[in-house]
Amino acid sequence: MRDATKSVHHPSVDDSGYAALGIPTHRASTIVFPDAQSYAARGQRDLDSYSYGLHGTPTQRVLEAQLASLENGKRAVVLPSGQAAVTVVLLSVLMPGDHVLVPDTAYPPVLGFCRNFLEPRGIEWSIYMPGVGAAIQELVRDNTKLIWMESPGSTTMEIEDVPAIANVARAKGILTGIDNTWATPLLFKPLDHGVDFSMQALTKYPGGHSDVLMGSVAVNDLALRKRLRDTMRMIGFGVCPDSVQLVLRGLETMAVRLAHVGKVATEVASELAERGLGEVLYPALPTSQGHDIWKRDFSGSSGLFSVVLPKELEPCLDIALNALRYFSIGASWGGTRSLIAPMSIKATRQTHHPRNERTILRISIGLEDPADLREDLADFFATLSNEAVARTA
Ligand SMILES: *Cc1c(COP(=O)(O)O)cnc(C)c1O
Protein backbone atom coordinates (compact mmCIF):
# COMPACT_ATOMS: atom_id res chain seq x y z
CA MET A 1 0.00 0.00 0.00
CA ARG A 2 1.47 3.35 -1.05
CA ASP A 3 1.31 6.53 1.02
CA ALA A 4 -1.66 8.16 -0.73
CA THR A 5 -3.62 4.92 -0.30
CA LYS A 6 -2.47 4.56 3.31
CA SER A 7 -3.73 8.10 3.88
CA VAL A 8 -7.31 7.21 2.99
CA HIS A 9 -7.56 3.62 4.20
CA HIS A 10 -7.70 3.77 8.00
CA PRO A 11 -5.98 0.93 9.83
CA SER A 12 -8.33 -1.09 12.03
CA VAL A 13 -7.51 -0.91 15.73
CA ASP A 14 -8.50 -3.16 18.58
CA ASP A 15 -11.37 -1.65 20.58
CA SER A 16 -11.82 -4.55 22.98
CA GLY A 17 -11.81 -3.25 26.54
CA TYR A 18 -13.00 0.16 25.40
CA ALA A 19 -16.16 0.71 27.40
CA ALA A 20 -17.21 4.35 27.66
CA LEU A 21 -20.49 5.89 28.84
CA GLY A 22 -20.79 8.38 25.99
CA ILE A 23 -22.36 7.44 22.65
CA PRO A 24 -19.93 7.62 19.68
CA THR A 25 -20.71 10.24 17.05
CA HIS A 26 -20.98 8.42 13.74
CA ARG A 27 -20.77 10.79 10.78
CA ALA A 28 -21.55 9.27 7.41
CA SER A 29 -23.00 9.95 4.04
CA THR A 30 -21.70 6.79 2.34
CA ILE A 31 -22.45 3.36 3.75
CA VAL A 32 -20.36 0.58 2.21
CA PHE A 33 -21.33 -3.04 1.79
CA PRO A 34 -19.36 -6.21 2.41
CA ASP A 35 -20.08 -7.71 -1.02
CA ALA A 36 -21.84 -7.18 -4.34
CA GLN A 37 -24.89 -9.18 -3.30
CA SER A 38 -25.62 -7.09 -0.23
CA TYR A 39 -25.17 -3.89 -2.26
CA ALA A 40 -27.67 -5.17 -4.83
CA ALA A 41 -30.09 -6.06 -2.02
CA ARG A 42 -29.68 -2.76 -0.14
CA GLY A 43 -33.26 -1.72 -0.99
CA GLN A 44 -34.53 -4.63 1.08
CA ARG A 45 -32.74 -3.49 4.22
CA ASP A 46 -35.29 -2.76 6.91
CA LEU A 47 -35.88 0.70 8.28
CA ASP A 48 -33.82 0.03 11.41
CA SER A 49 -30.64 -0.76 9.48
CA TYR A 50 -28.36 1.41 7.37
CA SER A 51 -28.33 2.31 3.69
CA TYR A 52 -27.34 5.98 3.51
CA GLY A 53 -26.25 8.54 6.12
CA LEU A 54 -29.34 10.63 5.43
CA HIS A 55 -31.52 7.81 6.77
CA GLY A 56 -29.62 7.39 10.02
CA THR A 57 -26.41 6.34 11.72
CA PRO A 58 -25.98 4.26 14.90
CA THR A 59 -25.81 7.54 16.86
CA GLN A 60 -29.25 8.48 15.55
CA ARG A 61 -30.66 4.99 16.15
CA VAL A 62 -29.72 5.31 19.83
CA LEU A 63 -31.69 8.56 20.12
CA GLU A 64 -34.66 7.11 18.22
CA ALA A 65 -34.73 4.04 20.45
CA GLN A 66 -34.41 6.15 23.59
CA LEU A 67 -37.28 8.41 22.51
CA ALA A 68 -39.47 5.44 21.53
CA SER A 69 -38.87 3.96 24.96
CA LEU A 70 -39.69 7.21 26.82
CA GLU A 71 -42.88 7.58 24.74
CA ASN A 72 -43.98 3.94 25.32
CA GLY A 73 -43.91 3.68 21.54
CA LYS A 74 -42.57 1.09 19.12
CA ARG A 75 -40.48 3.48 17.04
CA ALA A 76 -39.56 7.17 16.82
CA VAL A 77 -38.20 9.24 13.96
CA VAL A 78 -36.12 12.41 14.30
CA LEU A 79 -36.35 15.43 12.03
CA PRO A 80 -34.43 18.68 11.46
CA SER A 81 -36.83 20.76 13.62
CA GLY A 82 -40.04 20.58 15.59
CA GLN A 83 -41.86 22.29 12.74
CA ALA A 84 -40.50 19.66 10.30
CA ALA A 85 -41.83 16.95 12.63
CA VAL A 86 -45.35 18.44 12.45
CA THR A 87 -45.33 19.00 8.69
CA VAL A 88 -44.05 15.48 7.97
CA VAL A 89 -46.95 14.01 9.96
CA LEU A 90 -49.43 16.16 8.02
CA LEU A 91 -47.81 15.34 4.66
CA SER A 92 -47.69 11.62 5.47
CA VAL A 93 -51.41 11.43 6.24
CA LEU A 94 -53.15 13.98 4.03
CA MET A 95 -53.89 13.76 0.31
CA PRO A 96 -55.70 16.31 -1.88
CA GLY A 97 -59.39 16.29 -0.95
CA ASP A 98 -58.70 15.28 2.66
CA HIS A 99 -59.47 17.40 5.71
CA VAL A 100 -57.55 18.01 8.93
CA LEU A 101 -58.78 19.56 12.20
CA VAL A 102 -56.31 21.77 14.09
CA PRO A 103 -56.77 23.68 17.35
CA ASP A 104 -57.16 27.46 17.27
CA THR A 105 -54.27 27.47 19.76
CA ALA A 106 -51.81 25.54 17.53
CA TYR A 107 -48.17 26.61 17.25
CA PRO A 108 -48.63 29.49 14.75
CA PRO A 109 -46.28 28.15 12.02
CA VAL A 110 -48.49 25.03 11.90
CA LEU A 111 -51.52 27.21 11.10
CA GLY A 112 -49.36 28.97 8.50
CA PHE A 113 -48.50 25.60 6.94
CA CYS A 114 -52.19 24.68 6.72
CA ARG A 115 -53.14 28.02 5.18
CA ASN A 116 -50.21 28.59 2.83
CA PHE A 117 -49.07 25.10 1.93
CA LEU A 118 -51.87 22.55 2.38
CA GLU A 119 -54.80 24.71 1.30
CA PRO A 120 -53.34 25.71 -2.12
CA ARG A 121 -52.67 21.99 -2.71
CA GLY A 122 -56.31 21.03 -2.21
CA ILE A 123 -56.17 19.87 1.40
CA GLU A 124 -58.94 21.26 3.61
CA TRP A 125 -58.38 22.36 7.17
CA SER A 126 -60.53 23.86 9.89
CA ILE A 127 -59.95 24.88 13.47
CA TYR A 128 -61.57 23.79 16.71
CA MET A 129 -61.76 25.55 20.04
CA PRO A 130 -59.45 24.48 22.88
CA GLY A 131 -61.20 22.27 25.43
CA VAL A 132 -63.59 20.84 22.80
CA GLY A 133 -63.30 17.25 24.11
CA ALA A 134 -65.76 14.69 22.70
CA ALA A 135 -67.70 17.47 20.97
CA ILE A 136 -65.02 17.30 18.27
CA GLN A 137 -67.40 14.68 16.86
CA GLU A 138 -69.60 17.46 15.44
CA LEU A 139 -66.69 19.04 13.58
CA VAL A 140 -65.57 15.85 11.88
CA ARG A 141 -66.33 15.72 8.15
CA ASP A 142 -66.61 12.71 5.84
CA ASN A 143 -63.14 13.48 4.48
CA THR A 144 -61.45 14.16 7.86
CA LYS A 145 -58.28 12.05 8.00
CA LEU A 146 -56.38 13.62 10.90
CA ILE A 147 -57.09 15.48 14.14
CA TRP A 148 -54.09 17.47 15.30
CA MET A 149 -53.81 18.50 18.94
CA GLU A 150 -51.56 20.66 21.07
CA SER A 151 -51.87 20.52 24.84
CA PRO A 152 -51.41 22.90 26.51
CA GLY A 153 -52.17 25.29 23.65
CA SER A 154 -49.59 27.79 22.44
CA THR A 155 -49.34 30.89 24.67
CA THR A 156 -52.83 30.56 26.24
CA MET A 157 -52.08 27.11 27.73
CA GLU A 158 -55.47 25.35 27.50
CA ILE A 159 -55.37 21.59 28.21
CA GLU A 160 -57.18 19.28 25.79
CA ASP A 161 -59.11 16.16 26.78
CA VAL A 162 -56.79 14.01 24.67
CA PRO A 163 -58.37 10.61 25.49
CA ALA A 164 -61.85 11.95 24.59
CA ILE A 165 -60.64 13.27 21.23
CA ALA A 166 -58.64 10.11 20.52
CA ASN A 167 -61.73 7.96 21.28
CA VAL A 168 -63.90 9.87 18.82
CA ALA A 169 -61.17 9.64 16.19
CA ARG A 170 -60.58 5.89 16.71
CA ALA A 171 -64.30 5.16 16.39
CA LYS A 172 -64.36 6.94 13.03
CA GLY A 173 -61.06 5.60 11.70
CA ILE A 174 -59.40 9.02 11.88
CA LEU A 175 -55.75 9.35 12.89
CA THR A 176 -54.65 11.69 15.69
CA GLY A 177 -51.42 13.51 16.37
CA ILE A 178 -50.29 15.82 19.15
CA ASP A 179 -47.65 18.43 19.77
CA ASN A 180 -46.40 17.37 23.23
CA THR A 181 -43.48 19.81 23.43
CA TRP A 182 -44.56 21.50 26.68
CA ALA A 183 -44.82 18.28 28.69
CA THR A 184 -42.28 16.05 26.94
CA PRO A 185 -42.96 12.31 27.33
CA LEU A 186 -41.69 12.59 30.91
CA LEU A 187 -44.84 14.43 32.01
CA PHE A 188 -47.40 13.14 29.50
CA LYS A 189 -47.35 10.06 27.28
CA PRO A 190 -49.79 10.63 24.39
CA LEU A 191 -49.46 7.12 22.92
CA ASP A 192 -50.78 5.68 26.20
CA HIS A 193 -53.93 7.76 25.67
CA GLY A 194 -54.67 6.44 22.19
CA VAL A 195 -52.90 9.08 20.09
CA ASP A 196 -51.27 7.82 16.88
CA PHE A 197 -48.45 10.37 16.44
CA SER A 198 -46.67 11.86 19.47
CA MET A 199 -44.58 14.80 18.31
CA GLN A 200 -42.21 17.01 20.29
CA ALA A 201 -39.72 19.76 19.51
CA LEU A 202 -36.44 18.32 20.82
CA THR A 203 -35.21 21.90 20.40
CA LYS A 204 -36.84 22.71 23.74
CA TYR A 205 -36.42 20.60 26.91
CA PRO A 206 -34.67 17.52 25.44
CA GLY A 207 -31.89 19.64 23.84
CA GLY A 208 -32.21 21.86 26.87
CA HIS A 209 -29.43 24.37 26.15
CA SER A 210 -30.83 26.62 23.38
CA ASP A 211 -28.22 25.44 20.87
CA VAL A 212 -29.78 22.64 18.82
CA LEU A 213 -32.78 22.23 16.50
CA MET A 214 -34.58 18.90 16.15
CA GLY A 215 -37.99 17.30 16.35
CA SER A 216 -39.33 13.80 16.84
CA VAL A 217 -42.45 11.74 16.21
CA ALA A 218 -43.14 8.50 18.08
CA VAL A 219 -45.65 5.85 16.96
CA ASN A 220 -46.89 2.42 17.97
CA ASP A 221 -47.90 1.34 14.49
CA LEU A 222 -45.00 0.29 12.27
CA ALA A 223 -47.04 1.07 9.15
CA LEU A 224 -47.26 4.70 10.31
CA ARG A 225 -43.51 4.72 10.95
CA LYS A 226 -43.02 3.58 7.35
CA ARG A 227 -45.26 6.38 6.06
CA LEU A 228 -43.22 8.94 8.01
CA ARG A 229 -39.92 7.50 6.81
CA ASP A 230 -41.15 7.40 3.18
CA THR A 231 -42.10 11.09 3.37
CA MET A 232 -38.78 11.99 4.99
CA ARG A 233 -36.85 10.09 2.32
CA MET A 234 -38.72 11.75 -0.55
CA ILE A 235 -38.30 15.24 0.91
CA GLY A 236 -34.70 14.53 1.88
CA PHE A 237 -34.99 15.21 5.61
CA GLY A 238 -32.13 13.98 7.78
CA VAL A 239 -30.40 15.18 10.95
CA CYS A 240 -26.79 15.93 11.77
CA PRO A 241 -25.13 13.40 14.14
CA ASP A 242 -23.52 16.24 16.12
CA SER A 243 -26.98 17.63 16.83
CA VAL A 244 -28.17 14.13 17.77
CA GLN A 245 -25.27 13.98 20.20
CA LEU A 246 -26.39 17.26 21.83
CA VAL A 247 -29.92 15.92 22.27
CA LEU A 248 -28.61 12.64 23.73
CA ARG A 249 -26.62 14.66 26.24
CA GLY A 250 -29.58 16.90 27.03
CA LEU A 251 -31.86 13.93 27.62
CA GLU A 252 -29.61 12.66 30.39
CA THR A 253 -30.40 15.68 32.58
CA MET A 254 -33.94 16.38 31.39
CA ALA A 255 -35.77 14.69 34.26
CA VAL A 256 -33.81 16.71 36.83
CA ARG A 257 -34.17 19.96 34.89
CA LEU A 258 -37.91 19.48 34.36
CA ALA A 259 -38.55 18.66 38.01
CA HIS A 260 -36.70 21.84 39.01
CA VAL A 261 -38.26 24.26 36.51
CA GLY A 262 -41.71 22.75 37.11
CA LYS A 263 -41.41 23.37 40.85
CA VAL A 264 -40.06 26.91 40.49
CA ALA A 265 -42.61 27.79 37.78
CA THR A 266 -45.47 26.53 39.97
CA GLU A 267 -44.27 28.67 42.87
CA VAL A 268 -43.62 31.79 40.80
CA ALA A 269 -46.87 31.46 38.83
CA SER A 270 -48.88 31.07 42.07
CA GLU A 271 -47.18 34.12 43.60
CA LEU A 272 -47.93 36.23 40.54
CA ALA A 273 -51.55 34.99 40.55
CA GLU A 274 -51.91 35.85 44.26
CA ARG A 275 -50.52 39.33 43.74
CA GLY A 276 -53.07 39.90 40.96
CA LEU A 277 -50.49 41.08 38.45
CA GLY A 278 -52.52 39.79 35.53
CA GLU A 279 -54.32 36.55 34.64
CA VAL A 280 -51.83 33.69 34.97
CA LEU A 281 -52.22 30.86 32.46
CA TYR A 282 -50.57 27.66 33.66
CA PRO A 283 -52.18 24.20 33.80
CA ALA A 284 -50.83 23.55 37.32
CA LEU A 285 -52.95 26.43 38.69
CA PRO A 286 -56.54 25.48 39.62
CA THR A 287 -57.78 28.64 37.86
CA SER A 288 -56.25 27.65 34.51
CA GLN A 289 -58.44 26.09 31.78
CA GLY A 290 -58.26 22.29 31.85
CA HIS A 291 -56.54 22.05 35.25
CA ASP A 292 -58.59 18.98 36.24
CA ILE A 293 -57.71 17.17 33.02
CA TRP A 294 -54.07 18.13 33.53
CA LYS A 295 -54.23 16.57 37.00
CA ARG A 296 -55.83 13.43 35.59
CA ASP A 297 -53.47 12.91 32.62
CA PHE A 298 -50.13 14.61 33.38
CA SER A 299 -47.55 13.64 35.98
CA GLY A 300 -46.24 17.20 36.43
CA SER A 301 -45.82 20.62 34.88
CA SER A 302 -42.92 22.12 32.99
CA GLY A 303 -41.41 25.59 33.28
CA LEU A 304 -43.46 27.58 30.75
CA PHE A 305 -46.44 29.73 31.67
CA SER A 306 -48.10 32.94 30.53
CA VAL A 307 -49.34 36.14 32.13
CA VAL A 308 -51.99 38.28 30.45
CA LEU A 309 -50.75 41.80 30.96
CA PRO A 310 -53.33 44.24 32.38
CA LYS A 311 -54.10 46.84 29.73
CA GLU A 312 -52.93 49.74 31.90
CA LEU A 313 -49.46 48.19 32.20
CA GLU A 314 -48.94 47.74 28.46
CA PRO A 315 -47.52 51.20 27.66
CA CYS A 316 -44.54 50.63 30.00
CA LEU A 317 -43.69 47.16 28.77
CA ASP A 318 -40.60 48.03 26.72
CA ILE A 319 -39.03 49.98 29.61
CA ALA A 320 -39.60 47.09 32.00
CA LEU A 321 -38.33 44.47 29.53
CA ASN A 322 -35.17 46.45 28.83
CA ALA A 323 -34.42 46.62 32.56
CA LEU A 324 -34.50 42.83 33.09
CA ARG A 325 -31.25 41.44 34.50
CA TYR A 326 -31.59 37.65 34.49
CA PHE A 327 -34.49 36.98 32.15
CA SER A 328 -33.55 37.28 28.48
CA ILE A 329 -36.02 38.46 25.87
CA GLY A 330 -36.59 35.58 23.46
CA ALA A 331 -39.02 33.03 22.14
CA SER A 332 -37.48 29.55 21.92
CA TRP A 333 -37.88 28.28 25.48
CA GLY A 334 -36.80 25.14 27.35
CA GLY A 335 -33.13 25.98 27.87
CA THR A 336 -31.07 26.71 30.97
CA ARG A 337 -31.71 30.46 30.73
CA SER A 338 -34.97 32.07 31.79
CA LEU A 339 -36.86 33.93 29.09
CA ILE A 340 -39.71 36.38 28.72
CA ALA A 341 -41.40 36.84 25.36
CA PRO A 342 -44.16 39.42 24.86
CA MET A 343 -46.65 37.66 22.59
CA SER A 344 -49.47 39.00 20.49
CA ILE A 345 -51.89 36.26 19.43
CA LYS A 346 -54.42 38.44 17.62
CA ALA A 347 -53.14 37.66 14.13
CA THR A 348 -53.12 33.88 14.58
CA ARG A 349 -56.45 33.21 16.31
CA GLN A 350 -59.64 32.81 14.29
CA THR A 351 -62.04 32.75 17.21
CA HIS A 352 -62.58 35.87 19.25
CA HIS A 353 -61.57 36.10 22.90
CA PRO A 354 -61.02 39.36 24.82
CA ARG A 355 -57.45 38.35 25.64
CA ASN A 356 -56.62 38.13 21.93
CA GLU A 357 -56.35 41.92 22.06
CA ARG A 358 -53.84 41.94 24.90
CA THR A 359 -50.14 41.42 25.24
CA ILE A 360 -49.35 38.06 26.83
CA LEU A 361 -46.00 37.54 28.54
CA ARG A 362 -44.74 34.03 27.98
CA ILE A 363 -42.32 33.17 30.76
CA SER A 364 -39.90 30.23 30.64
CA ILE A 365 -38.21 29.40 33.93
CA GLY A 366 -34.57 28.34 33.59
CA LEU A 367 -31.92 27.06 35.96
CA GLU A 368 -30.81 30.32 37.60
CA ASP A 369 -31.22 30.69 41.38
CA PRO A 370 -34.98 31.17 41.94
CA ALA A 371 -34.25 34.08 44.31
CA ASP A 372 -32.60 36.01 41.47
CA LEU A 373 -35.53 35.27 39.20
CA ARG A 374 -38.05 36.41 41.83
CA GLU A 375 -36.11 39.66 42.32
CA ASP A 376 -35.97 40.27 38.60
CA LEU A 377 -39.72 39.68 38.22
CA ALA A 378 -40.53 41.83 41.25
CA ASP A 379 -38.51 44.71 39.76
CA PHE A 380 -40.09 44.08 36.38
CA PHE A 381 -43.67 44.37 37.68
CA ALA A 382 -42.69 47.30 39.92
CA THR A 383 -41.32 49.13 36.88
CA LEU A 384 -44.49 48.35 34.96
CA SER A 385 -46.77 49.66 37.71
CA ASN A 386 -44.66 52.65 38.77
CA GLU A 387 -44.27 53.79 35.21
CA ALA A 388 -47.99 53.25 34.70
CA VAL A 389 -48.75 55.32 37.83
CA ALA A 390 -46.34 58.04 36.71
CA ARG A 391 -48.03 58.18 33.32
CA THR A 392 -51.53 58.53 34.72
CA ALA A 393 -50.43 61.09 37.37
C1 LIG B 1 -40.71 25.37 19.39
C2 LIG B 1 -41.97 24.64 19.13
C3 LIG B 1 -42.19 24.00 17.92
C4 LIG B 1 -41.23 24.05 16.78
O5 LIG B 1 -39.96 23.56 17.07
P6 LIG B 1 -38.72 24.06 16.19
O7 LIG B 1 -37.66 23.07 16.48
O8 LIG B 1 -38.41 25.45 16.67
O9 LIG B 1 -39.17 24.04 14.76
C10 LIG B 1 -43.39 23.33 17.75
N11 LIG B 1 -44.31 23.30 18.73
C12 LIG B 1 -44.13 23.91 19.90
C13 LIG B 1 -45.19 23.83 20.94
C14 LIG B 1 -42.96 24.60 20.13
O15 LIG B 1 -42.80 25.24 21.30
All domains in the chain, ordered by first residue: 23-248 (3.40.640.10), 255-392 (3.90.1150.10)
**What is the model's pLDDT at position 215?**
98
CA of 207 to the centre of ligand 1 (A): 12
Residue nearest to atom 4 of ligand 1 (CA): 82
Write the pLDDT tens digit of every residue in 311-332: 999 989 999 999 999 999 999 9
Q: In what order do the strands lie in the sheet with 175-179?
A: 75-79, 215-219, 197-201, 175-179, 144-150, 99-103, 124-128
SS3 sequence, 195-253? Answer: CCEEEEECCCCCCCCCCCCCEEEEECCHHHHHHHHHHHHHHCCCCCHHHHHHHHHHHHH
- Confirm or reject: Cβ of 155 under 6 Å from ligand 1: no
For residue 80, cis peptide bond before it (omega within 30 degrees of 0): no
- Decide whether any atom of ligand 1 lies within 6 Å of the 181 Cβ: yes
What average pLDDT does range 134-148 have in this prediction?
A: 98
Q: What is the pLDDT of residues 159-208, one digit of tens each?
A: 999 999 999 999 999 999 999 999 999 999 999 999 999 999 999 999 99
Q: Is the pLDDT of residue 368 over 80?
A: yes
This model's pTM is above 0.95: yes
Distance from C-alpha of 383 to C-alpha of 377, rounded to nearest angstrom: 10
Is 153 near ligand 1, meaning CB less than 6 Å away? no
pLDDT at 225: 98
What letter would DSSP give residue 117?
I
What is the pLDDT, as a whole number, of residue 385? 86
Ligand 1 centroid from CA 81, angstroms:
7
Question: Distance between CA 28 and CA 51 in Å, rounded?
Answer: 10
Mean pLDDT of 277-282: 94
pLDDT at 204: 98
From 87, 111, 204, give the residue whose CB has the most ligand 1 atoms within 8 Å, as the site to mutate.
204
Q: How confident is the model at residue 276 (pLDDT cuts 50, 70, 90)?
A: confident
Q: How far is the CA of 203 from the centre of ligand 1 (A)?
A: 7
CB of 243 closer than 6 A to ligand 1?
Answer: no
CB count, 10 Å around CB of 374? 15
Q: Is 203 in the pocket of ligand 1 (CB under 6 A)?
A: yes
Which residue of 156, 203, 214, 305 sits with most ligand 1 atoms within 8 Å of its CB, as the best mutation to test the pocket?
203
